[in-house]
Structure 1
Amino acid sequence: MIALTFVFLFCQVNAQSDTFGHCKEEVSCNKQATPLLTSCKDIKRRWCDSPTGYYQLGSKRGPVSVYCNMDELCGSRGGWTRLGYLNMADPNESCPSGFRLYQHGEVRACGRQNSSVGSCVALKLSPDDISYSQVCGRVVGYQYASTDAVDSTIGGTGSHNDINSYYVDGVSITRGFPRQHVWTLMAGINEATYYNVNDVSYNCPCSKGSPQKSTLQSFIGNDYFCESGNPATDSTYQSVLYTSDPLWDGKGCGSLESTCCAASCLPWFHKKLGAATTDYLELRVCGDEGTSNEDTPISFYEIYVK
């Protein structure tokens, strides 16, 4: 795709909105080169009819090519800067550095490196000094074996209550350091039954009857999605990658997960921050047991800031 660069040597065209919300042009001549703008939001403000696509933005390390979504996302008008994108449905795409490839049929996903204990694998997404106050994104993952969301009895309360540790079977999205919570995407063990017939401890916090709601970490609050990909109705799980039901898409929820699939904005998460920041974002895939017991590899993500 051709990058669109707004650099004019003589005349600068500014787009403004008239009272009916349409764009009109205001032309002002300038003998100097117009400097590159530093965010997609700035481009959208100046040229409100700018299409979605790649643009050259200015940064401290020089011009950078960035994908801008100029359409409405997460209930907010365009001008979103994309920090990260992965689509493992593309056969030419590779897992991020440090992630391990899962492949089952046509499904390819990226999870933790082999481990006999709880662990996380991390990816940092830099905003290149772009100031933002909102984060909008979506992630698609798959359940492997016996994921138990944010159960506190297996990994221990220490790791359970520590945002820097493997507090979730799923995906943790944070910003900056010390880490500040943005969103958590969890994978429960069953979607339509209780483990071992009567034990609901390992199901999603939003799942019917789950006690995890009462032990949900305070730093998560309501900023999470949770789903299980295990369709079993006999209280069992298999040590397989459940590819028939992708996670966090709001579809295919079992009889116990109607509340989980009714979460606002699914499959998109949206976090409004208290103040603008230039913090990097960090996406981690975590599990509180070894990878032979559980994992939540991801096959797709796109994350924007504004």
Structure 2
Amino acid sequence: CGSGGWTRLAYLDMSDATQNCPSGFRPYQSGGVRACGKHGGGCVSVQFPSNGISYSQICGRVIGYQYGRVDALNNYYIDSHYVEGVSITRGSPRQHVWTLIAGRSELDTSSRSCPCNNGNSDIVPAFIGNNYFCESGTNASSPSTTLYTADPLWDGQGCGSLESPCCNVPGIPWFHRDYGSNTTTDYIELRVCASLSSEDSPVSYYEIY
């Protein structure tokens, strides 16, 4: 995250058997992988209060897995399930911090896959801008309703085929926002979202400072 006084607001490591999913999240287990996703369509949310700490920067990383035929971006507004993946925002009304998009396939150029894939011309919503990472967990053209554990999402590794530009972005797997002289005590919110119950990108690890 760089120098300065950083305070950890959020931490989850599901490889630690003593840790459990946040309240309301759906637990997944496949092989040796444990992860936390959503029930049904829409989003599941967890909020992390700043505990009165005033901050001007946010830094963190999230690792997840693809489940089913995720659709990348749904082009809705920020309060809805605009992404099939993870949305990180601050405060109310929500202000966008970072989006972690789950694309359908490494071999796909449609709007259902990563906008950073070679050959994809999908438009990223203005409120996201360049503040996103995207990855798919499979090269299957029509993914099945299974948890793809071989290729974790948003770790900057395993971007095969058309997806190679998605891993070649500054900072990955760490996201970083600097608000300059604008400080806030807003809480941070992490949502896991997708439009259908058969689509998910459960998280196995996160840390936010």
Normalised to the residue count of structure 1, the TM-score between the two structures is 0.66
Correspondence for 1:190: 105
Q: CA RMSD in A?
A: 1.1
Q: 2:154 aligns with which of 236, 248, 254?
A: 248
Letter in 2 for 1:229: G
Whether the 8 Å contact between 2:72 and 2:111 is mirrored in structure 1 is no
**What displacement does 1:94 show?**
0.5
Following the alignment from structure 1 to structure 2, what is the Cα–Cα distance between the partners of residues 95 and 161?
Answer: 27
Tell me the matched-pair count.
208
Partner of 2:169, secondary structure, is coil
Following the alignment from structure 2 to structure 1, what is the Cα–Cα distance between the partners of residues 64 and 148?
Answer: 10
Following the alignment from structure 1 to structure 2, what is the Cα–Cα distance between the partners of residues 223 and 201?
Answer: 18
Q: 1:99 aligns with which of 16, 20, 25?
A: 25
Correspondence for 2:51: 128
Structure 2 residue 136 is the aligned partner of structure 1 residue 228: yes
Deviations 1:166-202 (A, max 9, x none): 00000000000010000000000001x23xxxx6221
Correspondence for 2:62: 139
Following the alignment from structure 1 to structure 2, what is the Cα–Cα distance between the partners of residues 129 and 89?
Answer: 30
**What displacement does 1:148 show?**
1.4
User: Where do 1:27-176 residues align within 5 Å?
Assistant: 73=1, 76-113=2-39, 115=40, 118-150=41-73, 152=74, 160-176=75-91
For structure 2, the residue ranges without an aligned partner over 5 or more in a row are: none
**What displacement does 1:257 show?**
1.1
Structure 2 residue 206 is the aligned partner of structure 1 residue 301: yes
Deviations 1:73-115 (A, max 9, x none): 2xx21421000000000111110001010000110000001x2
Larger Rg: 1
Deviations 1:179-235 (A, max 9, x none): 0000000000001x23xxxx62211011111132x2x11100000000000133xx2
**What displacement does 1:146 show?**
0.5
Following the alignment from structure 1 to structure 2, what is the Cα–Cα distance between the partners of residues 88 and 239?
Answer: 21
Following the alignment from structure 2 to structure 1, what is the Cα–Cα distance between the partners of residues 37 and 47?
Answer: 15
Following the alignment from structure 1 to structure 2, what is the Cα–Cα distance between the partners of residues 255 and 204?
Answer: 12
Following the alignment from structure 1 to structure 2, what is the Cα–Cα distance between the partners of residues 291 and 122?
Answer: 15
Whether the 8 Å contact between 2:90 and 2:96 is mirrored in structure 1 is yes
Correspondence for 1:21: none
Letter in 2 for 1:126: P
Whether the 8 Å contact between 2:68 and 2:146 is mirrored in structure 1 is yes
Correspondence for 1:68: none
Partner of 2:166, secondary structure, is helix
Correspondence for 2:125: 217
Structure 2 residue 185 is the aligned partner of structure 1 residue 278: yes
Partner of 1:184, secondary structure, is strand
For structure 1, the residue ranges without an aligned partner over 5 or more in a row are: 1-72, 153-159
